[in-house]
């Protein structure tokens, strides 16, 4: 359902519950991470985009004067009541801890909206790794800003929402989800440097290309404990390598230290180091509409997550295998698991005209392989948080401020420039060929070779604007 249709629906639902029309309606999107998985807590790069699935909040000031925010969920979940006259702490229902944390953050900054009646209507799938929690947090923040007329800097707003998830939901998430939900722009992905928190908008404005999301509709209960283990393993690898984080290590550094670490720790670090490079390379490929290369990088990312980081599962692997069998001729350039792993969703780069055929084939083959019905949809890069109705204006997009750099600054200061001289690059270790990337370079069987071979061909020798061409990439 498009946002304009949601405005009418949510307005009607609000009126049914509260007996009057809402004064404010805001929305914030979920997200899909196109590439760059488990790199955020290693100070790396991620490449998410906002999807056209939203957490929508409709609200009005209370008519009884109570200093309480009353939340109803259109899905029928237990309502929540947040008393602004008392310290706000985590409580029940648990779903309301996300807005509780955000409200507490704004109150701590002296921003108090007063008592409100609020209705939540979310179209972001729950439990699929598409960040329904960040969408709820950011929509809450956007509502508070609209009610009070006091707006935070976009980065501060995103960090406030992240802190809410840490402190009130107990989830030690990275910064990606909240950043893209706040700062996403239509027809653009967001390349986020998780160390500096600087962002670059990456255009993806070709309507013939879309992102196809498949929800495996499984969630294996391994995520929380395994997530903590992998963070610890990455920290262990960085300590052995003598670097602040794996962001600062190269393929050669890791290979030289292989005898000092266990095989598991080595493989965890290999995933992170290579995934950071793949992410930077994919951003350049997207800028040049080099769909073949981006697709190959997505497949390589999935293999790395499956074999080295070990966070995939048979259902996610099945979706990627089906995608590979459909191939470019059938409309799929590449596919990978997205999110923390152990279930949830995959993301595929596809030709939009082929989506009906892809959907039919995917549904049939996935059901045959797993016995499970998958959910799927296609999306284009959507806008970040928006104000849909307010006492001041209608359909007024939130202006999140300057979220990207101009073209000259991208070339001078972007991730490619920052990687110059830091050692051999796996992004560069791709031996460009007319079909895209040499498979030996994007795979993992010869990781050390990739690093050593391209010690002579570092990113410093590559102009970002000449590096990719729409049909081919050139040998340097």
- Active-site residue, 177 included: yes
According to DSSP, residue 420 is labeled T
- DSSP-assigned beta bridge partners for residue 134: none
- DSSP secondary structure of 197-250: --EEEEE---TTEEEEEEEEEEE-TTHHHHHHHHHHHHHHHHHHHTSSSGGG--
- DSSP secondary structure of 313-364: -HHHHHHHHHHHHHTTTTTEEEEEEESSSSEEEEEEEEEGGGHHHHHHHHHH
Q: By CB neighbour count within 10 A (0-12 exposed, 13-18 middle, 19+ buried), where does 181 fall? A: buried
Residues 65-91, buried b or exposed e (16+ Cβ, 10 A)?
ebebbbbbbbeeeeebebebeeebeee
Tell me how far apart the terminal alpha carbons of the chain are, to the nearest angstrom. 46
Residues 113-147, buried b or exposed e (16+ Cβ, 10 A)?
bebbbbbbbbbbbeebbbbbbbbbbbbbbbbbbbb
What is the chain's length? 476
SS3 of 31, please? strand
Structural tokens at position 474:
């050139």
- What φ, ψ does residue 41 adopt, rounded to 5°? -85, 5
- DSSP secondary structure of 246-269: GGG--HHHHHHTGGGS-HHHHHHH
Q: Of the residues 60, 177, 193, 253, which is catalytic?
A: 177
According to DSSP, residue 56 is labeled E
Contacts of 187 (CB under 8 A, 6+ apart): 203, 204, 205, 380, 381
Half-sphere exposure of 198 (CA within 13 A, CB side): 10
According to DSSP, residue 153 is labeled -
- DSSP-assigned beta bridge partners for residue 71: 80, 118
Residue 374: C-alpha distances to residues 302, 366, 403 (Å)? 19, 7, 35
Alpha carbon distance 122, 247 (integer Å): 35
Residues 183, 158 contacting (CB under 8 angstroms): yes
Alpha carbon distance 150, 344 (integer Å): 36
Active site residues: 177
């Amino acid at each position: 359902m498009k946002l304009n249709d949601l405005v009418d629906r949510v307005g009607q639902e609000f009126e049914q519950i509260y007996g009057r029309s809402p004064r404010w309606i805001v929305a914030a999107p979920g997200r899909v991470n196109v590439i760059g998985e488990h790199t955020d807590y290693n100070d790396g790069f991620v490449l998410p985009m906002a999807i056209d699935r939203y957490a929508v909040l409709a609200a009005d000031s209370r008519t009884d004067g109570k200093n309480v925010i009353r939340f109803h969920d259109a899905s029928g979940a237990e309502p929540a009541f947040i008393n602004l006259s008392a310290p706000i702490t985590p409580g029940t229902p648990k779903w309301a801890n996300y807005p509780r944390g955000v409200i507490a953050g704004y109150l701590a900054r002296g921003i108090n909206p007063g008592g409100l009646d609020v209705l939540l209507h979310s179209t972001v799938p729950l439990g699929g790794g598409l960040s329904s929690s960040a969408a709820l947090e950011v929509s809450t923040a956007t509502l508070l800003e609209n009610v009070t007329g006091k707006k935070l800097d976009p980065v501060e707003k995103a960090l406030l929402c992240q802190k809410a998830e840490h402190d009130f939901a107990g989830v030690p998430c990275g910064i990606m989800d909240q950043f893209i939900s706040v700062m996403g722009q239509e027809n653009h992905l967001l390349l986020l440097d998780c160390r500096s928190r600087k962002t670059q908008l990456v255009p993806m404005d070709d309507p013939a290309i879309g992102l196809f999301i498949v929800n495996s509709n499984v969630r294996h209960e391994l995520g929380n404990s395994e997530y903590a283990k992998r963070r610890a393993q990455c920290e262990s690898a960085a300590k052995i390598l003598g670097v602040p984080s794996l962001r600062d290590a190269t393929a050669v550094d890791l290979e030289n230290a292989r005898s000092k670490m266990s095989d598991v720790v080595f493989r965890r670090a290999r995933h992170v180091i290579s995934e950071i490079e793949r992410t930077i390379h994919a951003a350049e490929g997207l800028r040049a509409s080099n769909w073949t290369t981006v697709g190959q990088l997505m497949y390589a990312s999935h293999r790395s997550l499956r074999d080295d980081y070990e966070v995939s599962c048979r259902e996610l692997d099945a979706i990627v295998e089906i995608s590979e069998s459909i191939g470019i001729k059938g409309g799929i350039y590449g596919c990978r698991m997205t999110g923390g792993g152990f279930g949830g969703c995959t993301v595929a780069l596809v030709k939009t005209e082929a989506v009906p055929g892809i959907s039919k084939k995917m549904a049939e083959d996935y059901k045959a392989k797993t016995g499970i019905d998958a959910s799927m949809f296609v999306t284009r890069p959507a806008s970040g948080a928006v104000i849909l109705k307010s006492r001041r204006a209608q359909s007024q997009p939130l202006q999140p401020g300057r979220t990207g750099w101009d073209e000259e600054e991208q070339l001078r200061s972007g991730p490619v420039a920052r990687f110059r001289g830091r050692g051999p690059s796996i992004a560069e270790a791709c031996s460009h060929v007319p079909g895209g990337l040499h498979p030996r370079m994007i795979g993992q069987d010869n990781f050390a070779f990739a690093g050593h071979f391209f010690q002579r061909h570092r990113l410093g020798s590559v102009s970002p604007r000449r590096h990719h061409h729409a049909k081919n990439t050139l040998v340097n």
